[in-house]
Amino acid sequence: MALLSQVPSVTATFKFTLTDSLTAVVSNEATATVTILNNAHATTASYAIVEDTRTRVVLAGTDDVSAAALSFRIVQLPAAGTLYFAGTDIPVSAGDMVPVADAGAVDYQPGADFVGVDILKFTATSAVSLAESVPAVASFNVSNVNDAPRPQNARVEFFALDLNSTFALPVVEVDGDVITVSVTAIPQASIVALSQTASAGGADITAMPTIVTDALRRVVAHAVAPTQSSTQGYAAEITFTAVDPYGLVGTPAVVTVFVKHSFFAANVTATTAEDTPTTVSLATQDYFGRAYAVYLRSLPDPATVGTLRLVGSTEAITQAQLPLVLTPATAGTAVTLIEFVPARDAVVPLTSFEYEIRDTEGRGEVVVGTVFVSTTAVPDPPRVELTNPSETLEIADGAVLEITTLVVAEVDDPNAIVSVNVTAVGTGLVAGSGPLDSVTFAKTLTLSGTSAEIAAQLLAPLRFKSGPEQRVREATAFEVQVSAQAQGEESKLSLFVNVLPVPDPSGVSLDGSLVAAVAAAACTALLFGAVGAFILYRRQESEPKLPPPPQFTPFIYDENRLVSSAEATGVRAPVSMTTEFTELVVARGQGLVYALFEVSAEADIDDVCERLVFVYEGHGRASAPDLVACIAQREIQMAASSVTLFRSNSRACKLYSVYAKVVGLPYLYATLGPLFVQLVEQDGSIEVAPEKVRKSKSGSVDVTVNKWRLLVVAQKFFKAITESVDAVPYELRQLAQTLWHEMGKPSAFPERRSIALGTFFFIRFICPAIAQPEAYGLVREVPSSDLRRLLVLVAKTLQNLANGTMFVEKELDAMNVFIDSNQEKMGNFLAAVAGTGGGAVGTGVPVPAPVYDASVAWLYAHTQALHADLHLLLSGVQVEGARELDQALIRVLPRAPTMSV
């Protein structure tokens, strides 16, 4: 039931009688009608509003019984605009009362570009009776006003190779008129060429302004010229506007066309301590997996701050060598290493040098990266050194030596006081400058002052002589110790003085018998030396020559075995399925490879790794080194500790073993072949375990002699390997470089990167070839049991050297001398292999077509057999690309995965 105040009026009718109180007479029945009026009324009205224009409107109403002002309440807000309290920016809400003082005035703001009818509902309330009217409607008729076109700022991106990439010049035209777009500023023609049409024959935009019709409103970047720019790319700005048929011009807007390089060269920041070289990693990438080369473009500026050198090299790179090839050919993602060597005592806030990557396919694209290097100061002790390279001087007995080659300087603070002590050890004596007949010789001489003052004192030479009454019968070395202290730091230097005996007047040495003995020994040494040289010459002359290398293909690819194992699976699939399957195997990210490693039995991993390498190497667009590098990087990231890294079940190591044979057999033959020829000719037992020594015809064999013979053979092998850095295949050097970089990261295991690289190169490549040379084509016949034992011991020795592990077996304890003395050389060799540049190119043996086809077929059958496990794995992990890979396998494998319960 409605309230009385919400209807216009109401009429009530009732009947009544009157009764006389004295006579009790009742009158006739009468009828009374009462009408109650609602005295407040809201007035319906219509208002004319201009598009996008805020307008004041006044709500109206009437009061039947009072002239007092009405108040108004907003019942329903307009749907296409906003209602504000008059003269404010305060929006009105449904249910709000319009202040009486505003006399019904409110402001209406139509929505942007709205044209049409909008309404609000309101009531009026009497100030006397407080009666509220029924709602009335206020209609807002918003009329259209022509709007100027609105060009929009935008940014578009595409790769430099994406020629003819179209993009629109965005314009908002709210009135729906046919407009004309004008290009008012165009980029340099050498960056982006614009065309009015998307067709190849479209007219170039070469002048301003140029009209682009409404029907198209787009341009085409159809001739992007390669240019040298930042690491990301380069931008061109197109300024344009638009005009409608009524002459209204829009505000100019800019479309930024960002042409991304196909290559990426990272800007690198490195910091090192004073006097400490640092290796800088240059990260490069080609987004399309194409070939490119990395060049050093410039040297640190200024040149006095430091030099650059290749990792593993001691030679500084010179300006004449620029541009210097650091990585001659690579693809995809690569890391190139170069070493910055600060100048001595130089503290450099910031220096920089540039490198660049260039495509090797003739497109002319060049991308430049910048390396910023700073050095931090470290406290230096005073510098104490000799100006000549020799630390040994000579004088005759009884003479005085003038020492003029000593330099002492305080590096960090030239004004710091330096205290220098020069001490003669033994019976030697030292003295300062001054007339020789007046100086006093003593055991110790002390100097003090700033660097400049010390230098002035040393301009006049120090003196040394042997002690009083000293007579030497043979050359005797005396030591002179120099120490310098400044600011809590100390440096020391020792130089040695050979005091030579003085002949007696007869010309005979003080000890004639000694001289005679020495002369006799010298004659004997010369005689035996001559005989030894002759024997060595004859031996070298008769050494067998290295025969031509064999055909390596059978030693890498066992074609019969591979084809037979593929046929034995019994799986046959359409070419279209195996082709798509192969693309999944070699896809970037190696998703299927990781999945196969997860679900394959450990007994099958060797076969899986072998086939994967052959497929990647024979595919054409894939890269087996990239596969090995990606798996190795993943194992480094997943390793809980260095102890568990690259163990015997490492997938990366197994892949490397196969791939190293593909590219490395010519290297092994050239490097180790001559040693195998010698050993075959000299075949004999070198057994070091007493219980295994066989009796010879002449009696027992000296085990100690055999140990030293084994050491000599091991040293020959190691020497041949360490001298072959430049012959190591380029692909293996690139893998070594990547592994060296990944292991050197702070989040990895930088202290074990030499051991990690040794695990790959020696334990997975060199040592197996030494132990079984017949499997690598290094010998013509299977080695005898004696030679086999020798080769196994040599391989085991090199394996321990690569691992940094000493022998605990007593019979091999002599080899610990070999391991200990060659540790530094091993580290230097591995660092050189991981250095940039160099390496033999084109040594790999191509994958025969039957081997490639059989490897694809075997992997296809193996994947099909494991499809259920792969489906369970891929559908249960939240990894990017897993779902897509799962669907792709369902598509290319003939049977849907089934799950056994």
| 728 plus 812 within the same structural domain | yes
| 223 plus 280 within the same structural domain | no
| 584 plus 715 within the same structural domain | yes
| 653 plus 685 within the same structural domain | yes
CA distance 359 to 363: 7
CA distance 783 to 681: 11
Q: Is residue 215 part of a domain?
A: yes
CA distance 385 to 552: 56
| 118 plus 230 within the same structural domain | no
Q: Is residue 209 part of a domain?
A: yes
* DSSP, residue by residue, 68-91: SPPEEEEEE--SSEEEEETTSS-B
Q: Is residue 352 part of a domain?
A: yes
The two three-digit tokens of residue 344, written as one number: 């001595």
| 668 plus 789 within the same structural domain | yes
Looking at this protein, which amino acid is placed at residue 489? Answer: E
| 177 plus 297 within the same structural domain | no
User: How many C-beta atoms surround the C-beta of residue 655 within 10 A?
Assistant: 27
Task: Supply the pLDDT for residue 794.
Answer: 92
Q: Is residue 495 part of a domain?
A: no
CA angle 586, 872, 901 (to 5 degrees): 145
CA distance 106 to 57: 6
Contact 762, 799 (CB under 8 A): yes
* DSSP, residue by residue, 724-778: -GGGSBHHHHHHHHHHHHHHTSTTS-GGGHHHHHHIIIIIIIIHHHHH-GGGGTS
Boundary-marking domain end, from 259, 276, 311:
259
Return the CATH number at 367.
Answer: 2.60.40
Inter-CA distances, 901 with 291, 413, 868, 898, Å: 49, 80, 12, 10
**Rg value, the chain, Cα:** 47
Boundary-marking domain end, from 239, 259, 279:
259
Inter-CA distances, 639 with 517, 645, 656, 715, Å: 65, 6, 18, 34
Q: Is residue 494 part of a domain?
A: no
Task: Supply the pLDDT for residue 768.
Answer: 93
Range of the domain at 231: 150-259
Q: What is the mean pLDDT of each run of 10 residues along the chain (901 residues)?
A: 45 75 76 68 92 93 80 94 94 92 92 92 87 92 88 78 63 77 63 42 37 41 40 70 85 82 81 89 78 89 88 88 86 84 85 87 76 88 67 63 74 82 77 69 83 75 66 60 82 73 45 36 36 36 65 85 85 76 81 88 90 87 82 83 75 90 90 88 63 50 66 88 90 88 81 86 92 90 87 91 84 80 88 73 78 90 88 79 84 60 31
Return the CATH number at 823.
Answer: 1.10.506.10
Q: Is residue 684 part of a domain?
A: yes
Q: Which residues contact 529 (CB under 8 A, 6 or more apart)?
A: none
CA distance 197 to 177: 21
Q: Is residue 114 part of a domain?
A: yes
Q: Is residue 179 part of a domain?
A: yes
Task: Supply the pLDDT for residue 571.
Answer: 77
Q: Note the pLDDT tens digit of each residue in 477-505.
A: 667 788 888 887 888 877 777 666 655 44
| 594 plus 665 within the same structural domain | yes
- The number of folded domains in the chain is 4
Contact 403, 433 (CB under 8 A): no
| 743 plus 648 within the same structural domain | yes
Inter-CA distances, 225 with 201, 255, 365, Å: 18, 19, 9
b or e along 481-509 (b: 16 or more beta carbons within 10 Å of the residue's beta carbon)?
Answer: ebbbbbeeeebebebebebebeeeeeeeb
* DSSP, residue by residue, 628-649: HHHHHHHHHHH-SSGGGTT-TT
Task: Supply the pLDDT for residue 552.
Answer: 82
| 103 plus 212 within the same structural domain | no
Boundary-marking domain end, from 353, 376, 399:
376
* DSSP, residue by residue, 415-427: TS-EEEEEEE-TT
User: Which candidate, 36, 3, 42, places its Cα nearest to that of 133?
Assistant: 42
Return the CATH number at 96.
Answer: 2.60.40.10
| 793 plus 821 within the same structural domain | yes
| 677 plus 823 within the same structural domain | yes
